[in-house]
Amino acid sequence: MSRLVVVSNRIAVPDDKKASAGGLAVGIMGALKSKGGLWFGWNGEIGDENAPLQKVTQGNISWASFTLNEQDHEHYYNQFSNAVLWPAFHYRLDLVTFQRECWDGYLRVNSKLADKLLPLLQDDDDIWVHDYHLLPFASELRKRNVNNRIGFFLHIPFPTPEIFNALPPHAELLEQLCDYDLLGFQTENDRLAFLDCVSAQTRLTTRSKTHTAWGKTFRTEVYPIGIEPEEIAKQARGPLPPKLAQLKAELKNVKNIFSVERLDYSKGLPERFQAYEALLEKFPQHHGKIRYTQIAPTSRGDVQAYQDIRHQLETAAGRINGQYGQLGWTPLYYLNQH
């Protein structure tokens, strides 16, 4: 049976308290637990890029992680991945800050990662690559004569040609994506947007969901990701964790609106604060009877757009609590931490 090799920008190594338990990590772990395999990616550390890979094995899962140097982290991760691709793929061209040296850094890191993974590969491995940080990764493996089956899954939207083709390296990125054997998207709209982008650049032939472009043959599919409602319902029926039980006791009869997500401009947090402020303004009968708790851990704090939204939310929280707060009642709790 072939081995599953998962490649993602960040990996969740066992007992790594800094690793995020986000949707990507949860989804990947579900597959690895059932099939076993290798998970390869960045360990979250900035340091010596030539340091040996950190390897851990538990049961039928192995982890191999690497370190990024400061320049590569800035160019590949902070700038091109999160100040070009992320805002563009979320239809925010106004937040895109393209720099040629950062595009070069993005390609450089994808090339380095291919070099690091190559010695770990076996001939019959199935390679499963994740998300926008690694769009050129299959292309780099193909240059090294890797003929394994390589799949890719995009965890964010894929923009329409009007957006994607505004990026200076759009044609090169599209051709590199066609080096994957299978491209997975969250929705049919995302899949069609990708194909529209390709057909705007070159001749695209399609039979069912198998396509040829630039002399390369690949398939596209839709794989919606969701939650596990049965597990969440089970947790909801059980006793509250101690911290939440204490919070509920302290609030007494006050209803708590509770929300948790990364501090990111794609989440609509400023608009949510405005909506809550409008509720307090138009329906004063709720004063003292509800509280909105927003937990939003810092995300990509080195990127200016994220610094801006953090300041925006802190200002809004102060304004709302100053306007509507009472002795013994704080209408909005905003926590910028895990």
Q: What pLDDT sits at residue 18?
A: 54
Q: Which two tokens stand for residue 206?
A: 């399609």
**Nearest Cα residue to 330 out of 295, 272, 280, 291:** 291
Q: State whether residue 336 is helix, strand or coil.
A: coil
Q: What is the pLDDT of residues 231-245, one digit of tens each?
A: 889 988 989 889 888
Q: What is the pLDDT of residues 283-331, one digit of tens each?
A: 999 999 999 999 998 877 777 888 888 899 999 999 999 999 999 899 9
**Nearest Cα residue to 105 out of 76, 85, 81:** 76
Q: Helices marked H in 123-265 — which ranges? A: 137-143, 161-164, 170-177, 188-199, 229-237, 242-251
Across 238-327, the runs of DSSP E, i.e. the strands, are 255-260, 290-295
Q: What pLDDT sits at residue 1?
A: 74
Q: What pLDDT sits at residue 291?
A: 95
What DSSP state is assigned to residue 3?
P
Q: What pLDDT sits at residue 22?
A: 61
In the predicted model, residues of the chain with pLDDT beneath 50 are: none
CA separation for the pair 293, 290 (Å, rounded)? 10
Q: What pLDDT sits at residue 17?
A: 57
Q: Which two tokens stand for residue 303?
A: 């990127």
CB-based burial label for 302 (10 Å; 0-12, 13-18, 19+): middle
Q: What pLDDT sits at residue 23?
A: 67
The radius of gyration computed from the CA coordinates of the chain, to the nearest angstrom, equals: 23
What are the backbone angles phi and psi of residue 226, rounded to the nearest 5°? -140, -165
What are the backbone angles phi and psi of residue 139, rounded to the nearest 5°? -60, -40
Render 122-157 in DSSP notation, one character per residue: -TTPEEEEESGGGTTHHHHHHHTT--SEEEEE-SS-
Q: What pLDDT sits at residue 248?
A: 86
Q: What pLDDT sits at residue 21?
A: 52
Query: What is Dmax (Cα atoms) for the chain?
Result: 70
What DSSP state is assigned to residue 302?
T
Q: State whether residue 218 is helix, strand or coil.
A: strand
Q: What pLDDT sits at residue 165?
A: 94
Count of CA atoms in the C-beta half-sphere (13 A) of 18: 6
Q: Order of strands, edge to edge, in the sheet holding 205-207?
A: 54-58, 61-68, 37-46, 4-10, 126-130, 149-153, 182-185, 216-222, 210-213, 205-207
Q: What pLDDT sits at residue 29?
A: 83
